Copies of this chain bind each other. A is one copy, B any other.
């Protein structure tokens, strides 16, 4: 079996470290692994298959022998370095928003639109975390009964912001419990024991970037921009895993039982839905796992053909690292690398 020279760009971030973990867990055929990060992280060491790998500085010379470059860095840096990696012959799988809405760049969730890896020009975008989680759960339903409208409200974990946000939640939680002063550095408002209806910058229409990503990226991934979507994205004091309350209006009637059956056969989905026996997904079920958990499946009689879902998934894994590595696996399977 061919092995590949892989680089992780942004290796010391929350997603980058998860990429390192997932590559090992999934026995990805790595020939040589490069860990790249900004200058201040160079020298840091990580274990990979029991060998120490030193983090190197990301420069324009980083990609000389790289075949697969997994990027999880700021969008501005992706814009700078992804073309360089491609020039060096690598395929870039980019977790930033830099290229997601670019017509020449596929935006791929392997369970939903695997065919789109076929037409890449060197860069494939990894979608927004909340969007990945949602589309894995709803696309199987959409294939049976077209989704007309989605109303979603999210409950998002701080690790989506990065490692410093995890530390902030820990520190602030302790401060609140100890009745000490709470200091907010990462978020504009205290996140510990609070809800924060603000994820990424605001547009003039009053929506955040995060909320609009759930609209535009869902359209691009599912390949159907007739689906009407509205989102409210909220940060909650949770370390890892995003939860989503998803309300669907379908074109034709599906019962709750129909949806349970469809989703129980769907790739990447696990149905946990027996509330009478206290079986419904929470963050604790999904964190550290690669699947999208769906429960609280209910017919919504406030509208014709309505369905409510509760969807939970580890956004560092399926919502980021795992999805990126699944894209690489798909490229291998299809003989594209």
Contact = CB atoms under 8 A, between A and B. Distances in A.
Interface in A228-281: 228-230, 232, 234, 236-239, 243, 245, 247, 256, 275-276, 278, 280-281
Nearest to A156: B195
Interface residues of A, number: 58
Contacts of A46: none
A234 B230 contact: no
Contacts of A27: none
Contacts of A301: 228, 230
Given A155-B155, A189-B282, A302-B229, A195 B238 contact: yes
A140 interface: no
Interface string A280-296: 11111000000000011
Kindly name the residue among A195, A196, A275, A306 whose own CB sees the greatest number of chain B CB atoms within 10 A.
Answer: A195
B296 A194 contact: no
Interface in A154-178: 155, 169-170, 173-174, 177
Nearest to A188: B278
Secondary structure class of chain A's binding surface, majority of residues? mixed
B149 A302 contact: yes
A206 interface: yes
Contact of A234 (B151, B243, B300): B243
A4 interface: no
Nearest to A297: B206
Contacts of A256: 206
A237 B234 contact: no
A150 interface: yes
A21 interface: no
A9 to B, nearest CB: 30
B195 A302 contact: no
Contacts of A149: 302-303
A150 B151 CA distance: 11
B153 A153 contact: yes
Given A237-B238, A245-B234, A310-B232, A198 B280 contact: yes
A298 B202 CA distance: 12
B232 A308 contact: yes
B283 A195 contact: yes
Contact of A173 (B151, B173, B278): B173
A119 interface: no
A189 B275 CA distance: 13
Contacts of A28: none
20 contacts: A149-B302, A149-B303, A153-B245, A188-B278, A189-B282, A189-B284, A194-B238, A194-B282, A194-B283, A195-B236, A197-B281, A197-B295, A198-B280, A202-B275, A206-B299, A229-B302, A230-B302, A232-B310, A234-B310, A245-B245
Given A190-B284, A236-B236, 6 more contacts: A193-B283, A197-B245, A206-B256, A206-B296, A232-B245, A232-B310
A-B pairs, 4 with minimum CB distance: A228-B302, A153-B245, A206-B298, A153-B153
